Structure 1
Amino acid sequence: MTFTTDFSQVQEHAEFKEQPYEMIVFDVKEEPNKNGKKRIVIDFVVRNDVKQEKQNAHLWDEQYPLTDTGKYHNGILMGKAKALGIPEGKQYESFEAFLADFKGKTAKITVKLEEFNGKKNPKVRFVNPSDLPDCHHTWKEKAPVANTPNLEPDDLPF
Structure 2
Amino acid sequence: MGFKSNWNEAAQGSSIKPEGDYECLIAKVEERVTKNGKENLNISMVIRNDVEQNYKNGYIFDTLWKKKEPTNADLQVKGYGYGQIMALGKAAGLPDGKEYESLEQFCGELVNKPMRVTIKHEEYNGKTQERVSRRNPTKYPTVKHIPKQTTTNTATAYAQPQQSYASAQQTNQGFTDMPLDDDLPF
TM-score, normalised by the number of residues in structure 1: 0.77
Runs of 4+ in 1 over 3 A off after TM superposition: 10-15
For residues 15-66 of structure 1, the C-alpha deviation after alignment (integer angstroms, 9 at most, x for no partner) is: 4111001011000012212322211110011111111111111111111111
Question: Unaligned stretches of 5+ in structure 1?
Answer: 1-5, 143-158
- Give the match's secondary structure for 2:44: strand
Paired residue for 1:122? 130
AA partner of residue 74 (structure 1) = Y
TM-score, normalised by the number of residues in structure 2: 0.66
Paired residue for 1:96? 104
Paired residue for 1:28? 29
Distance 1:135 1:113, change over 3 A: same
Paired residue for 2:145? 137
Q: Is the Cα–Cα contact under 8 Å of residues 107 and 127 in structure 1 kept in the other structure? A: yes
AA partner of residue 116 (structure 2) = K
Q: Is the Cα–Cα contact under 8 Å of residues 30 and 41 in structure 1 kept in the other structure? A: yes
Identity among equivalent positions (%) equals 34
Larger Rg: 2
* C-alpha separation in 2, matches of 1:26 and 1:141: 15
Distance 1:28 1:11, change over 3 A: farther
- Give the match's secondary structure for 1:82: helix
In the TM superposition, residue 108 of structure 1 has moved relative to its aligned partner by 0.7
Q: Find out whether 1:79 has 2:79 as its counterpart.
A: no
Q: Find out whether 1:44 has 2:52 as its counterpart.
A: no
- Give the match's secondary structure for 1:76: helix
* C-alpha separation in 2, matches of 1:23 and 1:79: 16
- Give the match's secondary structure for 1:77: helix
Equivalences for 1:49-68 in 2 at 5 Å? Answer: 49-68=50-69
Distance 1:141 1:68, change over 3 A: farther
Question: Unaligned stretches of 5+ in structure 2?
Answer: 151-186
Distance 1:95 1:141, change over 3 A: farther
Paired residue for 2:179? none
Q: 1:111 aligns with which of 119, 124, 129?
A: 119
Equivalences, count? 135
Aligned-residue RMSD, C-alpha:
2.2
